[in-house]
Amino acid sequence: MGLTNQSTGSSLLGNGTIIDRTSCSGFIIALSGNPNVGKSTVFNSLTGLNQHTGNWPGKTVATCYGKYKYKNKNFILVDIPGTYSLMANSAEEEIARDFVCFENPDATVVVTDATCLERNLNLVLQTLEITGKVVVCVNLIDEAERKKIHIDCKKLSDRLGVPVIATNARSKRGLDELTDAVYNIALGFVRANPLQITYDETIEQAIELIRPAVREVTGGKINDRWVSLRLLDGDASLLESLNKFLGFNIPDNSILRQDLKKARQFLEQNGINADQLRDRIVSRIISISEEICRDAVSFGNKQYNDTDRKIDSILTSKIFGIPVMLALLAVIFWLTIAGANYPSELLANLLFGIEDRLTDIFISLNVPGWIHGVLITGTYRTLAWVVSVMLPPMAIFFPLFTLLEDLGYLPRVAFNLDNFFKKACAHGKQALTMCMGFGCNAAGVIGCRIIDSPRERLIATITNTFVPCNGRFPTLIALSAIFIGGMANGASGSLVSTLSLTAVVLLGITITLVVSKILSKTILKGLPSSFALELPPYRKPQVGRIIVRSILDRTIFVLGRAAAVAAPAGFIIWIMANVRVGGVSILAHTAGFLDPLGKLLGMDGYIILAFILGLPANEIVLPIIIMSYMASGSLIEYSGMEQLRHILVSNGWTPLTGICVMLFSLMHFPCATTLWTIRKETRSMKWTLISFAVPTAAGIIACFIIANAARFLGLA
Amino acid sequence: MKENLIELKNLPLGRTAKVKHLSSIGAARRRLLDLGLINGTVVEAMHKSPSGDPTAYNIRGAVIALRSEEASKILVELN
């Protein structure tokens, strides 16, 4: 969910990107597996590279890689998308297949879930059809043992013909054996003897009809038996990939084309059409999986899923499902609101203390006043503001939300909410991409890859910004505390602001559904596509790791972004406020120009300007507003919520202004990072512009109605 | 059609049944096959979402939620 370096692009490999083998010396190891089997944990444990992990299907939405060393050899571990199959039913399966098939990894590690091995073997067997250089990692073995599921890895390995290693990546159990097995396979010290799947006589004959021609065309660069089978299955995307990666244009080859036609006719004559062929292939693989598992897996307790079942019967029940969900959300907000105050003040004291020291140094060095103004009162102070006001709520909210994610609760949210999404003609997994949006909308947009249908993916992309991201939460929290919670007293204040924040999020979800529906009826017409959502077993969260990682990740990320964005913004605002044209500062001129629009929407020109200047990062919107209100164009030192309230109120803010700013914060153009990500994901300027325009229009309409209704009714 | 065949969406919670026929086509069908849903697979209806749809099924040890549209295209025989 979090916006780590991996998900923001620094180490993303786009679709079909080939790792440049010349630039990196090392053995390339592909890490594949079904969604949600702890693949990312294996990845992190082996490489130490910190990639965000979570407990929901389809987590790894992009290909990441990391390096490790073993016995003085370099290994490059590539985390390919989690899939159930390699039959290219979706973009992710295509990426996974292309990697295993065309990138020629020196070994492929297939991570499987020990508690659900039979289904996982489907992918193992499909991988073995492509390559024998495979190591099977039976992960989550501790969980299986707890559920009294016994797995005989020796027997499994004998049957599959490749090494099988039991691991529990969280506790690093079995990882040494895994690295060793990978080493042996990659360097060719162990020759695998992979299980060969044979199909019905008819299918085998059809394969043999085209196999010679396939062998001729591919020249041994790729497993011809497997390619033949896929060609019979009519896998169009494989044709594209063969052309893209190896330059083989199958349809151009007349012999192969004829043979393929013959083989298809042969199948038809024997009563096997395209759908039946696929059924038979899949059924065969599944029945082999079944048979292997009967042999190698034993269940000490048939009712091993009882606890999960009991928990689910409450968390997804008609009576408690939705209320529990809302309560959990509210508790997280309350902890965030109540817990953020003290560290905020602590940070402010520290950072503004440093500022005083810096000022002393500037004075002692006789630095001109304007340089001090630009660097300290402009740039540094903005930075200090962003860090002390914005960082604590993020550092509290993020680990709490990650905890829910780690437990496996989020797919239940999608389960509970699915019917609403279905009615909006949208995809059920959109609830998951919304959850990712809480962390960061750019991550949410990348997450939309888990939705296969292009139409529904676009809907999820365009509406993702209606979920307030981590960067907007602190603004919403501060404003709800001041203008809504502030009306109540003391302890009930934080309760009121909790409720109002929950209401804001609910509003965001409602708007998401309404806009999704509107999009489905207008520019993105269509019916909901098929959908199957896995509800993974609940898992004990790694509390220590979550806290350390999210605080570290968040802290480093927020500080980095603040330095990159807030500091220059502070610089620009200081200049705008201090350069005067006709006796009035540029800042006042611009704000004056925007003021009529601002007033129309219940806000003012400075606020609109702050939203525009906040395009690079939502974190800086509130600091820019405050900074602009200070005549000198620099912020005063932050000393607490009360002071913030004073500044806003003395600049003409009413509860209506607060509400309109909150609404506009919830509904306006996505930040620059998100827009850039949308452009990259949709590969379309048109959809990027629509993603900009739709939320902005929604925000303008909402604020206009609220502001004018309140004025008309004499409430403001 | 045999009389004891019902649509999966009508399988009462807590009951198990055996898959007899898949009538979904194309991508939807392949998705079901990937989950291990083939002729003879035993399926149990576990939970309904608060609004009654989708329903979570136990398919080969994994809990999978299917919308009623999908579940109506799977014919099962009550165990």
CB pair distance less than 8 Å for A321 and B49: yes
Minimal Cα–Cα distance from B5 to chain A, Å?
A: 20
Strand A73-79 to A27-33 pairing: parallel
CA–CA gap between residue A188 and residue B57 (Å, rounded): 43
Which tokens sit at A289? 């999986």
Cα–Cα separations (whole angstroms), residue A458 to A2, A31, A562: 21, 29, 30
Of B47, B51, B64, which is closest to A419 when you measure between CB atoms? B51
CA–CA gap between residue A567 and residue A589 (Å, rounded): 22
Report yes or no: A703 and A664 within 8 Å, Cβ to Cβ.
yes
CB pair distance less than 8 Å for B60 and A119: yes
CB pair distance less than 8 Å for B34 and A115: no
Predicted local confidence at residue B46, as pLDDT: 92
Domains of chain B with CATH codes: 5-78 (2.30.30.90)
Which tokens sit at A680? 């990259």
Total Cβ atoms within 10 A of residue B9: 19
Is the CB of B75 inside 8 Å of chain A's CB atoms? no
How many beta-carbon pairs below 8 A join chains A and B?
124
Partners of residue A450 in chain B, C-beta under 8 Å: none
Among B16, B22, B63, B72, the strongest candidate for a mutation testing the A interface, having the largest count of A CBs within 10 A, is B63
Minimal Cα–Cα distance from B73 to chain A, Å?
A: 11
Report yes or no: A449 and A682 within 8 Å, Cβ to Cβ.
no
CA–CA gap between residue A365 and residue A359 (Å, rounded): 10
Answer left, alpha or beta for residue A58, where phi above 0 means left and psi between -120 and 50 means alpha. Answer: left
Which positions of chain A have pLDDT values less than 50? 1-23, 52-61
Cα–Cα separations (whole angstroms), residue A289 to A122, A193, A301, A535, A553: 6, 17, 21, 22, 40
CB pair distance less than 8 Å for B67 and A422: yes
Report yes or no: A651 and A626 within 8 Å, Cβ to Cβ.
no
Instruction: Please provide the average confidence, as pLDDT, over all residues in chain B.
Output: 88
Minimal Cα–Cα distance from B12 to chain A, Å?
A: 15
Under 8 Å CB-to-CB from A636, ≥6 apart: which residues? A626, A630, A643, A647
**Sole residue written with tokens 């299986």:** A144
CB pair distance less than 8 Å for B31 and A283: no
Total Cβ atoms within 10 A of residue A432: 29
The arithmetic mean of pLDDT across residues B25-49, rounded, is: 86
Under 8 Å CB-to-CB from A246, ≥6 apart: which residues? A102, A218, A221, A222
Partners of residue B46 in chain A, C-beta under 8 Å: 309, 312
CA–CA gap between residue A637 and residue A486 (Å, rounded): 21
Q: Hey, is A77 helix, strand or coil?
A: strand
* Chain A residue nearest residue B45, CA to CA: A309
CA–CA gap between residue A696 and residue A228 (Å, rounded): 51
Predicted local confidence at residue A170, as pLDDT: 84
CA–CA gap between residue A662 and residue A481 (Å, rounded): 11
Where does chain B show beta strands of DSSP type E? 5-7, 16-22, 42-48, 55-59, 62-66, 74-78
Minimal Cα–Cα distance from A238 to chain B, Å?
A: 16
Which tokens sit at A64? 């990441």
Predicted local confidence at residue B2, as pLDDT: 53
Q: Which CATH class is domain A5-186?
A: alpha beta
Predicted local confidence at residue A465, as pLDDT: 95
CA–CA gap between residue A601 and residue A702 (Å, rounded): 8
Of the candidates A507, A508, A502, A512, the one whose C-alpha atom is nearest the C-alpha of residue A421 is A512
CB pair distance less than 8 Å for A418 and B47: no
**Sole residue written with tokens 């009882």:** A306
CB pair distance less than 8 Å for B65 and A305: no
Minimal Cα–Cα distance from A92 to chain B, Å?
A: 13
Report yes or no: A8 and A442 within 8 Å, Cβ to Cβ.
yes
Minimal Cα–Cα distance from B77 to chain A, Å?
A: 19
End-to-end CA gap in chain A: 40
Strand partners, A138: A112, A166
Of the candidates A213, A57, A40, A28, the one whose C-alpha atom is nearest the C-alpha of residue A532 is A57
Among A235, A289, A415, A422, the strongest candidate for a mutation testing the B interface, having the largest count of B CBs within 10 A, is A415
Partners of residue A535 in chain B, C-beta under 8 Å: 56, 63-65
CA–CA gap between residue A41 and residue A27 (Å, rounded): 20
Backbone phi and psi for residue A568, each to the nearest 5 degrees, phi listed first = -60, -35
Minimal Cα–Cα distance from B66 to chain A, Å?
A: 5
Predicted local confidence at residue B53, as pLDDT: 86
In this structure, what DSSP letter does residue A188 have?
A: T
Strand B16-22 to B5-7 pairing: unpaired
Q: Read out DSSP for A20-50?
A: -TTT--SEEEEEEESTTSSHHHHHHHHH---
Which tokens sit at B10? 């009508």
Question: Where do the structural domains in chain A lie, given as residue ranges?
Answer: 5-186, 201-272, 321-712
Predicted local confidence at residue A15, as pLDDT: 37
CB pair distance less than 8 Å for A418 and B67: yes
Which tokens sit at A592? 């004056």
ipTM of the complex: 0.93
Of the candidates B79, B77, B22, the one whose C-alpha atom is nearest the C-alpha of residue A532 is B22
Predicted local confidence at residue A22, as pLDDT: 44
CA–CA gap between residue A197 and residue A402 (Å, rounded): 41
Partners of residue B57 in chain A, C-beta under 8 Å: none
> A490-521 vs A454-463: helix axis angle to the nearest 10?
150
Report yes or no: A200 and A267 within 8 Å, Cβ to Cβ.
no
Of the candidates A394, A381, A342, the one whose C-alpha atom is nearest the C-alpha of residue A558 is A394
Predicted local confidence at residue A24, as pLDDT: 53
**Which chain A residues in 388-407 lie under 8 Å from chain B, judged by CB atoms?**
none
Predicted local confidence at residue A646, as pLDDT: 85
At B50-72, the pLDDT tens digits run 988 899 999 988 899 999 988 99
CA–CA gap between residue A161 and residue A191 (Å, rounded): 9
- Range A572-603 burial, b when 16+ CB lie within 10 A, else e: bbbbbbbeeeeeebbbbebbeebbeebeebbb
Of B31, B53, B61, which is closest to A119 when you measure between CB atoms? B61
Predicted local confidence at residue A113, as pLDDT: 92
Cα–Cα separations (whole angstroms), residue A26 to A11, A69, A192, A347, A692: 17, 9, 21, 45, 43
In this structure, what DSSP letter does residue A461 have?
A: H
Is the CB of A349 inside 8 Å of chain B's CB atoms? no
Partners of residue A419 in chain B, C-beta under 8 Å: 49, 51-54
**Sole residue written with tokens 């990692």:** A137
In this structure, what DSSP letter does residue B19 have?
A: E
CB pair distance less than 8 Å for B65 and A530: no
In this structure, what DSSP letter does residue A267 have?
A: H
Predicted local confidence at residue A246, as pLDDT: 80
At A139-190, the pLDDT tens digits run 999 988 988 899 999 999 999 999 999 999 888 899 999 999 999 999 989 8
Of the candidates A145, A144, A140, A149, the one whose C-alpha atom is nearest the C-alpha of residue A170 is A140
CA–CA gap between residue A328 and residue A498 (Å, rounded): 12
Report yes or no: A39 and A58 within 8 Å, Cβ to Cβ.
no
Where does A448-492 show beta strands of DSSP type E? none
Q: Hey, is A16 helix, strand or coil?
A: coil
CA–CA gap between residue A82 and residue A35 (Å, rounded): 4
In this structure, what DSSP letter does residue B8 have?
A: G
Partners of residue B49 in chain A, C-beta under 8 Å: 316, 321, 415-416, 418-419
Predicted local confidence at residue A270, as pLDDT: 87
Cα–Cα separations (whole angstroms), residue A19 to A28, A63, A100, A254, A681: 9, 11, 13, 33, 20
Under 8 Å CB-to-CB from A164, ≥6 apart: which residues? A135, A136, A138, A153, A154, A156, A157
Predicted local confidence at residue A193, as pLDDT: 87
Report yes or no: A684 and A690 within 8 Å, Cβ to Cβ.
no
Partners of residue B20 in chain A, C-beta under 8 Å: none
Which tokens sit at A254? 């007349």
Before A368, cis peptide (omega within 30)? no
Report yes or no: A133 and A107 within 8 Å, Cβ to Cβ.
yes
**Which chain B residues in 16-35 lie under 8 Å from chain A, judged by CB atoms?**
22, 24-25, 27-35
With a cut of 90, say whether residue B76 has pLDDT above it: yes
Minimal Cα–Cα distance from B65 to chain A, Å?
A: 5
Report yes or no: A197 and A288 within 8 Å, Cβ to Cβ.
yes
